[in-house]
Chain A
Amino acid sequence: DTEVTQTPKHLVMGMTNKKSLKCEQHMGHRAMYWYKQKAKKPPELMFVYSYEKLSINESVPSRFSPECPNSSLLNLHLHALQPEDSALYLCASSRRGDNQPQHFGDGTRLSIL
Chain B
Amino acid sequence: TQLLEQSPQFLSIQEGENLTVYCNSSSVFSSLQWYRQEPGEGPVLLVTVVTGGEVKKLKRLTFQFGDARKDSSLHITAAQPGDTGLYLCAGTNAGGTSYGKLTFGQGTILTVHP
Which A residues have a C-beta under 8 Å from some C-beta of B? 2, 4, 31, 33, 40-43, 45, 48, 50, 55-56, 90, 92, 94, 98-107
Q: How far is the CA of A92 from the CA of B95 in the complex (A)?
A: 19
A44 to chain B, nearest CB (A): 8
Question: Can you list 14 A-B contacts with CB-CB less than 8 angstroms, sorted by A residue number?
Answer: A40-B109, A43-B104, A45-B102, A48-B100, A56-B101, A92-B42, A98-B31, A99-B30, A99-B31, A99-B50, A100-B92, A104-B35, A106-B41, A107-B42
Question: How many interface residues does B have (CB within 8 Å)?
Answer: 27
A-contacting residues, B85-109, CB 8 Å: 86, 88, 90, 92, 94-95, 99-102, 104-107, 109
A87 to chain B, nearest CB (A): 13
Do the beta carbons of A101 and B43 come within 8 Å of each other? no
Query: Is B25's beta carbon under 8 Å from chain A?
Result: no
> A99-B30, A102-B45 known; 10 other A-B pairs, CB under 8 Å?
A2-B41, A42-B88, A42-B105, A42-B107, A90-B42, A90-B43, A98-B94, A98-B95, A104-B43, A106-B41
Contact of A40 among B41, B44, B100, B107 (CB under 8 A): B107
A41 to chain B, nearest CB (A): 7
Which B residues have a C-beta under 8 Å from some C-beta of A? 30-31, 33, 35, 40-45, 48, 50, 86, 88, 90, 92, 94-95, 99-102, 104-107, 109
Do the beta carbons of B107 and A45 come within 8 Å of each other? no
